[in-house]
């Protein structure tokens, strides 16, 4: 290899390099999750926070326990890397969680539960459960981010309804409030800073009070608000 040339794949991050094995082998998936969950603090108990913990071993083989259990010397509790995460109370193997997280992260247009079902072999119900929890885990925490807008900035706000199908013959979609009241469509409110970021929300209902609260929590009061003439 001549000077200045780089090995193919040398730009891969540590995670990208190790994720394929974690998607194929259960122990590798568990160790992958343990490594990145406890990377800063080291292995610790998710219940009491004690770092005086140890891996439980299989008496016959001397290897790791089949359930990949840890034990805390502080609170005497047993736990796994799943406790306190979106994996908790799930019997789906962690290798499938790793694959679903990877697929959701690299797909520009998102990934469907049917695709996860086909590629992992889990049931559709399990794949749907996986994706619901993954989307929840990946949702941005707007409360920890700076508010949109500011002096001289324009913030736009609007609502729409997505999903579902009209239940009455001849009924068509539209954006006027009331059209979707009995069609099963979900309300979505979005606020956009011109030339900046966008934030979207799925409130239980679109009312003046709900939209006003969203604006107060996510946009600076000195911003110029642009919206339509809807009463909400």
Condensed to tens digits (0 to 9), the pLDDT of residues 5-27 reads 555 455 667 888 889 999 999 99
Condensed to tens digits (0 to 9), the pLDDT of residues 124-148 reads 999 999 999 998 888 777 777 888 9
Mean pLDDT of 224-232: 76
Q: Pick the closest to residue 188 from 167, 159, 216 (CA basis).
A: 159
Q: Where are the domains of the chain?
A: 14-138, 143-226
Mean pLDDT of 43-55: 94
Looking at residue 231, what is its pLDDT?
A: 61
Looking at residue 172, what is its pLDDT?
A: 47
Radius of gyration of the chain (CA): 24
Cβ-based neighbours of 33, under 8 Å, separated by 6 or more? 22, 81, 87, 94, 97, 98
Give the number of other Cβ atoms within 10 Å of residue 179's Cβ: 15
**CA angle 145-148-154, nearest 5°?**
170
Condensed to tens digits (0 to 9), the pLDDT of residues 64-123 reads 999 999 999 999 999 999 999 999 989 999 999 999 999 998 888 888 999 999 999 999
Condensed to tens digits (0 to 9), the pLDDT of residues 169-224 reads 544 444 444 444 445 677 889 999 988 888 888 887 888 888 889 899 899 989 99
Looking at residue 197, what is its pLDDT?
A: 87
CA distance 121 to 24: 12
Looking at residue 96, what is its pLDDT?
A: 97
């Amino acid at each position: 290899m001549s000077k200045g040339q780089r090995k193919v794949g040398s730009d891969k991050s540590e995670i990208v390099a190790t994720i394929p094995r974690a998607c194929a082998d259960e122990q590798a998936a568990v160790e992958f999750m343990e490594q990145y969950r406890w990377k800063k603090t080291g292995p610790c108990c998710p219940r009491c926070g004690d770092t005086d913990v140890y891996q439980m071993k299989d008496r016959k083989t001397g290897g790791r326990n089949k359930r990949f259990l840890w034990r805390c010397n502080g609170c005497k509790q047993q736990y796994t890397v799943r406790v306190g995460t979106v994996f908790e109370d799930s019997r789906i193997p962690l290798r499938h969680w790793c694959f679903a997280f990877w697929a959701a992260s690299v797909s520009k247009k998102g990934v469907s539960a049917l695709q996860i079902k086909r590629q992992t072999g889990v049931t559709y119900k399990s794949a749907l459960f996986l994706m619901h929890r993954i989307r929840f885990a990946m949702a941005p925490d707007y409360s920890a981010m700076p508010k949109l807008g500011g002096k001289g900035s324009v913030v736009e706000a609007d609502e729409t309804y997505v999903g579902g199908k009209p239940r009455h013959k001849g009924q068509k979609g539209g954006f006027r409030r009331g059209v979707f009241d009995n069609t099963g469509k979900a309300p979505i409110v979005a606020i956009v800073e011109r030339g900046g970021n966008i934030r979207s929300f799925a409130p239980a209902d679109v009312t003046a009070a709900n939209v006003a609260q969203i604006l107060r929590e996510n946009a600076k009061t000195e911003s110029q608000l642009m919206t339509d003439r809807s009463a909400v």
